[in-house]
């Protein structure tokens, strides 16, 4: 199982904070960290960007959005730091220009965020790269997923779907984990889980269903500024998540019905008083 620590925009535009989050993910044993990349003037309208919003960076939506965005120098340093810590990184692009930006790095994976699964031009651009791609299926209809799967299949691009419920944070009772089976059966592909719940129980349950990947948002402090902080896991919780998920994965076994080698001496001892039939000898 591939475990992804979603940093997203929880770095709040602070490179030193991004590095600390990378360190948390690496020390916990995650396989990768993920960011989000946007070209502000392509993702948002001018009217929206000019509208008021109080934030640490100013009093408009533009100031807030630009304050959260990393540029080339920051991502070059992120790339260097991840290599130093021995952990992969990649990002979900929210527009074509951002996807082109990411192409200059030697990344092994791509990610389609749930909001972008209906953006066919972006899906085609990503699929043309041929990199293994995680496709989140939050706020999507069956038809939306059909189209996305068709684009990646036609391009011959390896992919997996990620079950996701796009509420922040997600209530546990809304998880609909049975959809993992449905996606796996319908599309005959690996299926992961991208969670936005507060605790760990739902993610552990998803792990027991045989998911191929697990993605959770991480933060240093859920009380920090940011729209994703409340749906994120703090460092101690993330370490527990990784340990627990790895243990569950091992504990699931292969389903073989037979006596285990470790059980044999115990069986001999506890059954020594029972007469054996000829076919048991």
Domain that holds residue 242: 2-280
Does residue 232 come out as left (phi exceeding 0), alpha (psi in the -120 to 50 range) or beta?
beta
- Cα(196)–Cα(21) distance, rounded to whole angstroms? 17
In this structure, what DSSP letter does residue 102 have? H
CATH number at residue 42: 3.20.20.70
The model's pLDDT over 157-173, given as tens digits with 9 standing for 90+, comes to 999 999 999 999 999 99
Kindly list the distances between the CA atom of residue 222 and the CA atoms of 198, 218, 232, 248, in Å, as whole numbers in the listed order. Answer: 10, 9, 7, 26
The model's pLDDT over 179-201, given as tens digits with 9 standing for 90+, comes to 999 999 999 999 999 999 999 99
pLDDT on residue 153: 98
- Give the distance, in angstroms, between the CA of residue 130 and the centroid of all CA atoms in the same chain: 19
The tally of domains found in the chain comes to: 1
In this structure, what DSSP letter does residue 226 have? S
What 3-state DSSP class applies to 201?
A: helix
* 202-219 burial: b if 16+ Cβ within 10 Å, else e: bbbbbbebebbbbbbbbb
Q: What is the pLDDT along the chain (281 residues), one digit of tens a residue?
A: 999 999 999 999 999 999 999 999 999 999 999 999 999 999 999 999 999 999 999 999 999 999 999 999 999 999 999 999 999 999 999 999 999 999 999 999 999 999 999 999 999 999 999 999 999 999 999 999 999 999 999 999 999 999 999 999 999 999 999 999 999 999 999 999 999 999 999 999 999 999 999 999 999 999 999 989 999 999 999 999 999 999 999 999 999 999 999 999 999 999 999 987 766 65
């Amino acid at each position: 199982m591939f475990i992804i620590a979603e940093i997203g925009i929880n770095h709040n535009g602070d490179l030193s904070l991004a590095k600390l989050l990378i360190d948390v993910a690496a020390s916990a044993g995650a396989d990768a960290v993920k960011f989000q990349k946007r070209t502000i003037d392509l993702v948002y309208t001018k009217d929206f960007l000019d509208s008021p919003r109080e934030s640490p960076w100013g009093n408009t939506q533009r100031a807030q959005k630009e304050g959260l965005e990393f540029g080339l120098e920051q991502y070059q340093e992120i790339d260097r730091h991840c290599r130093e810590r021995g952990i992969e990184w990649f990002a979900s692009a929210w527009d074509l220009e951002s996807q082109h930006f990411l192409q200059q790095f030697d990344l092994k994976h791509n990610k389609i965020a749930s909001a972008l699964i209906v953006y066919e031009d972006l899906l085609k651009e990503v699929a043309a790269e041929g990199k293994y791609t995680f496709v989140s299926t939050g706020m999507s209809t069956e038809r939306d997923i059909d189209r996305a799967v068709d684009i990646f299949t036609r391009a011959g691009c390896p992919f997996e779907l990620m079950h996701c419920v796009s509420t922040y944070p997600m209530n546990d009772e809304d998880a609909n984990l049975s959809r993992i089976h449905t996606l796996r059966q319908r599309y005959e592909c690996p299926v992961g889980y991208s969670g936005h719940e507060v605790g760990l129980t739902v993610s552990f349950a998803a792990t027991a269903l045989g998911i191929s990947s697990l993605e959770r948002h991480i933060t240093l402090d859920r009380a920090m500024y940011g729209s994703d902080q409340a749906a994120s896991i703090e460092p101690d919780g993330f370490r527990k998540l990784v340990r627990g998920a790895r243990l569950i994965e091992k504990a699931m076994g292969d389903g073989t019905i037979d006596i285990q080698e470790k059980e044999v001496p115990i069986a001999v001892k506890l059954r020594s008083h029972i007469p054996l039939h000829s076919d048991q000898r």
